[in-house]
């Protein structure tokens, strides 16, 4: 008896016993095997079966029928293990005696090293499914969400009751899984695929997890990057009447392990890119935005304020007498003073506001949708919070102060440079007035 396992990206596997005589395949609802895919013809192909021999013939379809990755141009006699592809539908053909478990399944039980050849073969055999998975993951950047999506697609594609992907960080919780620990440990320690088509045939303790959860068939595949197991894919079935996992399921799981590997590596690259971007935009001493980034933010907020007629208030802060501090107490104390100014200034502004180190002893603060009056209140608050502090140095306590210049976009500033110049002019007046002052631009 010939049995076909029909898989599509949008539904669970379907098992079809090829009947004697003609079996039609196509998009029309009255076909024996319905291929619900726009790339399939209405009457696409037919399988003729008699006396244990099954032959598939393409009926002049537009997009073709593929057997073992080759488009057929004449009738093809099935061999057990053949793979047929029509559009996004993949059909695996297996011959078995009536009511018997296929020999291919019986021979699978145990472990199989996850070699490069197995990986490449599995990817090739499941290219259609991997393309669907990849397209689903395109807009998913969060790793946990992506792995959950992969697990759901795996569960559906295999017709499993449960499937999942576990990262190596959580391997200490493997005992919490319903699977026997021996299966998961073998997969990780041996870097091998572990498949048990029929767990009922094994000797088990009554309290074992697979007995408690009535698991009948199980499959585990490690995800390996540079010889390290970084994740584990698992799937199991609990229905004793369900088709046990087969060689095709093994190849599917191995192909999925490659997708998991790519997903994990993508996450690593994204994190590295984000870190590089952060370093490129962050002042190393204070942890604030650096000059380039605060100017970019200032330009953005300035244009937004012009477009929506909202006020934007800009503060330039200057640490008073930094050169004197460096000369008298050393540059480490000077750096500490700059860090104190940065930390305390940041505490006094809202989340929607921005602060950055402008260079040397100067800082820029952007107060979004804030009036000149609002800016003066914030500036006075920052000034008092810093002047009230004492910095401990090897020479004793040190009191520091800041001078602040304030300017607001009021229609007179056509470009950001004008606003910066106004605030800088106000800052210079504060310095000339004796420092530790807040001055508003005229």
Q: Residue 341: which CATH number? A: 3.30.70.270
- Closest residue by Cα to residue 94 from 324, 314, 249: 249
Is 217 in the same domain as 300? no
Asked if residue 100 belongs to a domain, the reply is no
Per the model's pLDDT, the better-predicted residue between 319 and 308 turns out to be 319
Answer whether residue 306 shows pLDDT above 80: yes
Cα separation, 316 vs 358, whole angstroms? 8
- The mean pLDDT of 342-367, rounded to a whole number, is 96
Q: pLDDT grade, residue 210 (50/70/90)?
A: very low
For 387, other C-beta atoms within 10 Å of its C-beta total: 13
Asked if residue 282 belongs to a domain, the reply is no
Answer whether residue 175 shows pLDDT above 90: no
Give the sign of the dihedral formed by CA 283, CA 288, CA 293, CA 298: negative
Of 202-206, 250-254, 353-357, 391-395, the poorest mean pLDDT is in 202-206
Asked if residue 115 belongs to a domain, the reply is yes
- The mean pLDDT of 408-435, rounded to a whole number, is 90
Domain end, chosen from 251, 277, 303, is at: 277
Domain end, chosen from 70, 95, 120, is at: 95
Is 407 in the same domain as 273? no
The separation between the first and the last C-alpha atoms of the chain, rounded to the nearest angstrom, is 94
User: What pLDDT is recorded for position 216?
Assistant: 86
Is 263 in the same domain as 219? yes
Q: pLDDT grade, residue 414 (50/70/90)?
A: confident
**Residue 237 structure tokens:** 């079935």
Is 133 in the same domain as 165? yes
pTM of the model: 0.68
User: What pLDDT is recorded for position 207?
Assistant: 44
Q: pLDDT grade, residue 413 (50/70/90)?
A: low
Is 161 in the same domain as 54? no
Which H helix or E strand runs over 418? Answer: helix 416-432
Q: Residue 57: which CATH number? A: 2.60.200.20
User: What pLDDT is recorded for position 360?
Assistant: 92
Asked if residue 335 belongs to a domain, the reply is yes
User: What pLDDT is recorded for position 98?
Assistant: 62
User: What pLDDT is recorded for position 127?
Assistant: 87
Q: pLDDT grade, residue 412 (50/70/90)?
A: low
Of 194-203, 293-302, 411-420, the poorest mean pLDDT is in 194-203
Asked if residue 120 belongs to a domain, the reply is yes
Please name the residues in contact with 9: beta carbons below 8 A apart, sequence gap of 6 or more: 88, 128, 129, 132, 153, 157
Enter the DSSP assignment of 240.
T
CA distances from 58 to 3, 14, 83, 283, 316 (A): 19, 21, 14, 66, 76
Asked if residue 101 belongs to a domain, the reply is no
Answer whether residue 177 shows pLDDT above 90: no
Of 87-91, 146-150, 263-267, 412-416, the poorest mean pLDDT is in 412-416
Cα separation, 75 vs 56, whole angstroms? 6
Cα separation, 440 vs 442, whole angstroms? 6
Cα separation, 148 vs 159, whole angstroms? 16
Which residues on neighbouring strands pair with residue 222, listed in sequence order? 232
Instruction: Name the domain count of the chain.
Output: 3
Of 115-129, 207-221, 284-298, 416-430, the poorest mean pLDDT is in 207-221
Is 239 in the same domain as 375? no
Cα separation, 421 vs 364, whole angstroms? 12
Is 89 in the same domain as 159? no
Q: Which of 18-22, 91-95, 139-143 has the highest mean pLDDT?
A: 18-22
Question: If you write DSSP's letter for every residue of 132-168 in order, what string do you get?
Answer: HHHHHHTT---HHHHHHHHHHHHHHHHT-SEEEEEEG
CA distances from 41 to 36, 45, 68, 85, 263 (A): 10, 9, 20, 13, 35
CA 102 to centroid of chain Cα atoms: 39
Is 214 in the same domain as 147? yes
Burial of 34 from C-beta contacts in 10 A (0-12 / 13-18 / 19+) = middle
Is 253 in the same domain as 190? yes
Is 223 in the same domain as 325? no
Domain end, chosen from 255, 277, 299, is at: 277
- The mean pLDDT of 41-65, rounded to a whole number, is 95
Q: Residue 136: which CATH number? A: 3.30.450.40
Answer whether residue 211 shows pLDDT above 70: no
Greatest alpha-carbon pair distance for the chain in Å reads: 106
In the numeric block, the tokens 């002047």 are attached to 387
- The mean pLDDT of 166-192, rounded to a whole number, is 88
Question: If you write DSSP's letter for every residue of 283-329 in order, what string do you get?
Answer: -TTTSSB-HHHHHHHHHHHHHHHHHHT--EEEEEEEETTHHHHHHHH
Please name the residues in contact with 156: beta carbons below 8 A apart, sequence gap of 6 or more: 11, 12
User: What pLDDT is recorded for position 132?
Assistant: 87
Asked if residue 361 belongs to a domain, the reply is yes
Q: Which stretches of 27-88 are assigned E, i.e. beta strand?
A: 33-34, 45-50, 53-58, 66-67, 70-71, 76-77, 83-86
Question: If you write DSSP's letter for every residue of 341-373 in order, what string do you get?
Answer: HHHHHHHTS-TTSEEEEEETTEEEEEEET--HH
Q: pLDDT grade, residue 290 (50/70/90)?
A: very high
User: What pLDDT is recorded for position 214?
Assistant: 77
Is 137 in the same domain as 40? no
**Residue 88 structure tokens:** 């996004």
User: What pLDDT is recorded for position 174?
Assistant: 84
- The mean pLDDT of 256-284, rounded to a whole number, is 93
Structural domain including 26 reads 2-95
Is 249 in the same domain as 155? yes
- The mean pLDDT of 15-34, rounded to a whole number, is 94
pLDDT per residue over 75-87, tens digit each? 999 998 899 999 9
Rg of the chain in Å (alpha carbons): 34
Asked if residue 308 belongs to a domain, the reply is yes
User: What pLDDT is recorded for position 139?
Assistant: 87
């Amino acid at each position: 008896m010939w049995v076909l396992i029909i898989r599509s990206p949008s539904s669970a596997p379907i098992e079809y016993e090829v009947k004697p005589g003609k079996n039609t395949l196509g998009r029309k609802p009255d076909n024996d095997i319905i291929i619900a895919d726009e790339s399939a013809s209405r009457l696409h192909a037919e399988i003729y079966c008699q006396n244990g021999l099954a032959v598939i013939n393409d009926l002049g379809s537009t997009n073709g029928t593929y057997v073992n990755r080759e488009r057929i141009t004449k009738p093809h006699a099935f061999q057990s293990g053949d793979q047929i592809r029509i559009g996004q539908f993949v059909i695996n053909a297996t011959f078995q005696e009536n009511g018997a478990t296929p020999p291919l399944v019986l021979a699978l039980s145990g472990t199989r090293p996850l070699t490069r050849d197995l990986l490449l073969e599995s990817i090739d055999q499941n290219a259609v499914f991997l393309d669907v998975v990849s397209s689903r993951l395109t807009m998913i950047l969060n790793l946990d969400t992506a792995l959950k999506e992969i697990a759901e697609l795996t569960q559906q594609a295999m017709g499993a009751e449960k499937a999942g992907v576990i990262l190596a960080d959580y391997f200490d919780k493997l005992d919490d899984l319903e699977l026997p620990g021996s299966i998961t440990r073998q997969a990780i320690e041996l870097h091998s695929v572990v498949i048990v088509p029929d767990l009922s045939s094994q000797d088990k303790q009554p309290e074992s997890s697979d007995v408690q959860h009535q698991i009948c068939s199980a499959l585990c595949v490690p995800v390996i990057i540079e010889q390290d197991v970084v994740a584990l894919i698992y799937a199991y079935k609990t229905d004793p009447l369900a088709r046990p996992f087969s060689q095709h399921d093994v190849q599917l799981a191995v192909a999925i392990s490659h997708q998991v590997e790519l997903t994990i590596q993508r996450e690593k690259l994204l994190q590295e890119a984000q870190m590089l971007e952060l370093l490129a935009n962050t002042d190393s001493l204070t942890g604030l935005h650096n000059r380039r980034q605060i100017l970019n933010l200032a330009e953005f907020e300035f244009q937004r304020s012009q477009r929506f007629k909202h006020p934007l208030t800009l503060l330039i802060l200057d640490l008073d007498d930094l050169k004197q501090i460096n000369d008298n107490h050393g540059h480490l104390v000077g750096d500490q003073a700059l860090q104190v100014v940065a930390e305390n200034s940041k505490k006094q502004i809202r989340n929607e506001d921005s602060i950055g180190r402008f260079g040397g002893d100067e800082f820029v603060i952007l107060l979004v949708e804030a009036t000149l009056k609002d800016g003066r209140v914030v500036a006075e608050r920052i000034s008092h919070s810093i002047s009230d502090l004492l910095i401990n140095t090897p020479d004793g306590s040190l009191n520091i102060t800041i001078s602040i210049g304030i300017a607001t976009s009021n229609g007179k500033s056509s470009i950001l440079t004008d606003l910066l110049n106004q605030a800088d002019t106000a800052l210079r007046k504060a310095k000339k007035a004796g420092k530790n002052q807040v001055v508003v631009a005229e």
